[in-house]
Structures are given as C-alpha cells and as structure tokens.
C-alpha cells in the first residue's frame, strides 16, 4: 500500500524529519517529473517537459530547491527557478510560461523550522487527487537517472517578479488609482517582501513597508497575517488609512482600518461580495467553509446573495466554486479566491478587490463593513484516542442537541475531527457570548468524560 504524504495543501513538515529531507524531496522531484512528463500529451518527442520552482524566504528553501532540481533533472525535466515568489505568483507564471507544472517550496504561515512542497498543474490549479496518487506511487520505485544527453536543464527566470507585479496590477481597474491613500504593508518577512509594495506604489498609494527584511529565520515571526498586533500597531504609528498583512507565502491576508481594528477573511469577503452585487459583477454566490462565522451567512441572506459551505481548506472552497460556476469564496483566515482574477487564492489580488470597493464607493473600510458584526465564537480542542468515533456516543449527541436547541437560529455547533492530530475540535458560536462559552465547555467536558484519557 502506498504511503500517503500529500495533505490538503501539499506535503509539509519539520525540516530534517521525513518527508522534508533532501533525499525524500529529490525522489519526490524525480517521481513528479516522470508523472508529469508522461501525462502531457501535447509535448513532441523532441520536447522536454518544464517545471517552475518558486519558494518563500526560509533558509531551508535553498536546500530543498536544489534537491527538487536534481530529481526533476534526473527525470529529464527542465527547471525554471524564480527564487522567492508568492505561491499565487508561481501559479500565474506556470500558466503564463505554458509549463507542465509549478512547484512552491513553502510552509505558508508556519514558523521557519517547517517547510513544504505544493504543486500546481499547467492550468494553475492544485493537482488532482489522481495525479498526487501517481506521484506517491512513484516514490516506491527506484530513482534511475536519464542518460546524460536527456537530463533536464535549469535556468533562472530573471523577470519573474516584474511579470507577477504587472499581473497583479492588471486586476485593478484602469480608471482607478490609489492616490491619496496611505497603506501600511506587512510582508511577514516572506515571499511578498519584494512584490506587494511595488504593486500598491505603482497604483499610486503612499506605502509604508514592514516585515520586508527576510533573513531566512524570521518569516512569520511576530508579524504578518498570523500576528495581527504588528499591523495594528503600525497603522496607528504611521497614521495610515489602512493596513494589509500577508502570510509567509502571500496567499492570504487580513486588513486593519485607520484605528487598528482588524478585519478577517470572512468580513473582507462580505465587502467584496456586496460591492460586486452593487456593480452587477457578482457571478452566482459565495462559498465559505464549515468554520465561516454564522453572522456572515445571515448577512448574505439579507442581501439575497446565495451562500454555501465547503469543507475546511482552500482546496475544497475552490472545488465547490468550480462545481457551482461561482467566482468568490474563502476562509476567515484570509484566504480569498476570486476566480475571475486568478486560479487560486492570492493575498495581493484579494487586497486590491477590497481597495477597489473603497475607491469605487468613496467609503472607508470601517464604513464598508457596517452591518457585518461577527458572532462570538469559541473553539476548544479535545484530545481523543486514535479512531475515536464521536458520532456513535449518545451523551455527546445529546449535549450537542441541547446546545443547538438553546442557541436557536442565532447559533451553531460544529464538532469536527482533526485531519492531522488525535483531536476533536468543538466549535460553538452565537449572539450570546455567555451561551457560547457555556456550551463549548459543556460539550468539551462531556467529550473528555467519554474519552477518559
């Protein structure tokens, strides 16, 4: 049986531990190269497949980049290297350069000790389950290098940053600009450090850049989208109109208004959706996830905007958007997908959609978000034994039913098993903060009594 390495967002782990080792990653590159080369029916016999590799700013990226390059070359695949590049930038360049695949070396919002590998297809989408399974199956085969004359070549894409900057700018209307706006940009010492500021500055904004001095060890360290106090402080310090904070690989972002009040992905999606509805630009409805705040669902009901939930993870949001033929969706974490602009979630492009709503309306972020007040939400992780099936436990079901009856239509209970750890996640939300806290603890205690660890 083939061991499963791919998760919902590629392969990720602690550097030096399997699977994030040079040996494994070289074999992964080789297997991916063989699978991708055999899958492309448009290549002639004389053409070699080509793959783009981008990375964030972690020091381990150098090592893993070399390992991937060696594996791909051994499989007869040419390699194009961008250096530091946001994840959505790799997806865009893979399409623009008509390549067979794109690979990102990143662990997103994780600390620098972690790293990961994720793939994009020739169309800029995540690989299908079938392709991932084929790559994993190839890891069981020996790594046998192609003859020297058939080895892949490698070269740098020297204008990669410039290409992606122009692409991001193209998603903002030509009749608008950002003159008169002071924007603080926190790049999390990550992959947007040399991209985001240029995009916003060239559109006319007065830019203050923070978190843009990567040293290989400081990515996401007390800055960026996962450490929001940094952007809140900077906005007030520099008397800015707005703040934008990205995560380490640039596929998600959050915002702060001029008073330092934060707005997460759920709230920002509401602003984009309402603006698009007003401009007759909203195609269909909006896709959230099981974790999307109930207040967001109720808000969309008032606006008569269709809303549905996918499983947690941007991959599932994307799949449901494609199934329904809709264009807008995302998560509270700030991962927002605008399929009319890009094939994947893009922090810079998502921020531009919010800025467009501000410029079109002449309103501040505070004014645009009125009416979108998130319900109190509490999440408790309860340790369980491996294979614990909470669905079969009567006391847990009874506790959940009691909570749902008390919260009524203005509350929600979600019990969800973690996909990576022996944990059961208990999430309760509703209008009453006291009720939310009470029922989250009540259900969690009921669980603990049943598990009896």
Please give the torsion angle defined by the CA atoms of residues 139, 6, 381 and 229, in that order, rounded to the nearest 10 degrees.
120
Residue 331 in contact with residue 265, Cβ under 8 Å? Answer: yes
Query: Which of 265, 384, 275, 387 shows the shortest CA–CA distance to 329?
Result: 265
Residues in CB range of 392: below 8 A, 6 or more apart: none
Alpha carbons 401 and 418: distance in angstroms, whole number: 21
β pairing state of 307-310 and 286-289: parallel
Which position among 108, 161, 230, 350 bears the catalytic label?
Answer: 108
170 annotated active-site: no
What are the tens digits of pLDDT across the range 180-221? 999 999 999 999 999 999 999 999 999 999 999 999 999 999
Do residues 103 and 71 make contact, with C-beta atoms less than 8 angstroms apart? no
Instruction: Give the residue ranges of DSSP H helices in 285-419.
Output: 294-303, 314-324, 347-361, 365-368, 394-407
Say what angle helices 22-39 and 129-138 make with each other, to 10 degrees.
120
The number of helices, as runs of H, and strands, as runs of E, in the chain is 14, 18
CA nearest neighbour of 245 among 258, 237, 232: 232
Q: What share of the chain is helix, strand, coil (3-state, %, to 5)?
A: 40, 20, 40
- Dist. CA 308–CA 326, nearest whole Å: 11
Ordered mean pLDDT values, 10 residues apiece, the chain (453 residues): 79 96 98 84 75 98 98 97 98 96 95 96 90 94 95 96 98 97 98 98 98 98 95 97 97 97 96 97 96 93 97 92 97 96 97 98 95 91 84 91 93 84 89 95 92 66
Strands (E) in 73-195, as ranges, are 78-84, 101-105, 114-121, 154-156, 182-186
CA atoms of 145 and 70, how far apart (whole Å): 10
């Amino acid at each position: 049986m083939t061991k499963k390495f791919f998760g919902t967002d590629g392969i990720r782990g602690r550097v030096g531990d399997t699977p994030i080792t040079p040996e494994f990653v070289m074999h992964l590159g080789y297997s991916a190269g063989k699978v991708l080369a055999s899958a492309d029916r448009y290549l002639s016999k004389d053409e070699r497949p080509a793959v783009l590799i981008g990375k964030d700013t972690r020091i381990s990226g150098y090592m893993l980049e070399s390992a991937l390059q060696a594996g791909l070359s051994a499989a007869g695949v040419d390699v194009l290297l961008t250096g530091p590049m946001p994840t959505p930038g790799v997806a865009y360049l893979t399409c623009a350069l008509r390549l067979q695949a794109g690979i990102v070396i990143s662990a997103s919002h994780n600390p620098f000790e972690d790293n990961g590998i994720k793939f994009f297809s020739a169309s800029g989408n995540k690989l299908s389950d079938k392709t991932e399974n084929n790559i994993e199956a190839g890891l069981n085969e020996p790594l046998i290098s192609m003859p020297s004359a058939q080895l892949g070549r490698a070269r740098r894409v020297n204008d990669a940053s410039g290409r992606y900057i122009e692409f991001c700018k193209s998603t903002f209307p030509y009749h608008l600009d950002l003159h008169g706006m002071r924007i603080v940009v926190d790049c999390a010492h990550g992959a947007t450090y040399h991209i985001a500021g240029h995009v916003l500055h060239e559109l006319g904004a007065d830019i203050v850049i923070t978190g843009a001095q990567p040293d290989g060890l400081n990515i996401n360290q007390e800055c960026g989208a996962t450490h929001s106090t940094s952007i809140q402080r900077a906005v007030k310090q520099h008397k800015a109109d707005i703040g934008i904070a990205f995560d380490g690989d640039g596929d998600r972002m959050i915002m702060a208004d001029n008073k330092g009040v934060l707005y997460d992905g759920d709230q920002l999606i509401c602003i984009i959706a309402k603006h698009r509805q007003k401009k007759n630009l909203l195609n269909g409805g909006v896709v959230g996830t099981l974790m999307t705040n109930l207040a967001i669902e109720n808000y969309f009901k008032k606006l008569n905007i269709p809303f549905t939930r996918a499983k947690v993870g941007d991959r599932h949001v994307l799949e449901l958007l494609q199934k329904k033929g809709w264009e807008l969706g995302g998560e509270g974490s700030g991962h927002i997908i605008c399929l009319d602009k890009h094939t994947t979630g893009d922090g810079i492009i998502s921020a531009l959609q919010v800025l467009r709503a501000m410029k079109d309306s002449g309103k501040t972020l505070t004014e645009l978000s009125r009416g979108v007040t998130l319900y109190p939400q509490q999440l408790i992780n309860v340790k369980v034994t491996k294979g614990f099936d909470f669905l079969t436990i009567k006391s847990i079901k009874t506790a959940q039913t009691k909570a749902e009856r008390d919260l009524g239509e203005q509350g929600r209970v979600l019990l969800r098993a973690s996909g990576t750890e022996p944990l059961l996640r208990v999430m309760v939300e509703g209008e009453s903060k006291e009720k939310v806290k009470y029922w989250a603890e009540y259900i969690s205690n009921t669980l603990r009594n049943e598990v009896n660890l």
